[in-house]
Amino acid sequence: MLLTGFLPRFLRAEATGDHSVVDTEPLWWPPAKIVGRYLSPFLAAKLGLAEAVGGPLRDGAIPIEVELDPKSGRPMWSRL
């Protein structure tokens, strides 16, 4: 899902790159199948913007570690 500031756009593409679809309705089930946690790094890598995981931090960066629930992928503290 791409948040545009208007209606969100739902994007889907074949792994081979031969076919892609854009719509205002979800193109898969369940609608929350793809999340930013995976999509953002994928897009960054495709654009050559990805940084090595565990690489040096930028100046002023603060390292943060959050334990995620293996079932939901949400932070463990969000279950409270």
pLDDT, tens only, 33-73: 656 667 777 777 888 776 666 667 778 888 778 787 777 77
CB 27 within 8 Å of CB 12:
yes
Tell me whether residue 55 is in a domain. Answer: no
Q: Is residue 36 included in any domain, yes or no?
A: yes
Indicate whether 26 belongs to any domain. yes
Range of the domain at 4: 1-49
In a domain, 10, yes or no: yes
Let me know if residue 2 belongs to a domain. Answer: yes
In one letter, which amino acid is 10? Answer: F
Res 64: pLDDT:
78
What local confidence, expressed as pLDDT, does residue 35 receive?
60
pTM of the complete model: 0.38
Please indicate, yes or no, if residue 79 is contained in any of the structural domains.
Answer: no
Domain total in the chain:
1
